[in-house]
Homo-oligomer: A and B are copies of this chain.
Amino acid sequence: MNISAASKAAALPVKTVRYYADIGLVQAPSRSDAGYRTYDDASVRKLVFIRRSREFGFTIEECRELLGLYQDQDRTSSEVKRIASKRLEEIEEKQRELQSLHDELAHLVTSCRGDQRPDCPIIDYLG
Contacts and interface: CB of A to CB of B under 8 A. Distances in A.
Interface of A: 45, 48-49, 52-53, 55-57, 66, 69-70, 72-78, 80-82, 84-85, 87-88, 91-92, 94-95, 98-99, 101-102, 104-106, 108-109, 112-120, 122-123, 125-127
Nearest to A125: B52
13 contacts: A45-B127, A48-B127, A49-B127, A56-B105, A69-B123, A70-B126, A77-B119, A78-B114, A81-B113, A84-B105, A91-B98, A91-B102, A94-B98
A95 B98 contact: yes
Given A95-B98, A98-B94, A88 B105 contact: yes
Given A52-B126, A70-B126, A78-B114, A105 B87 contact: yes
Contacts of A101: 55-57, 91
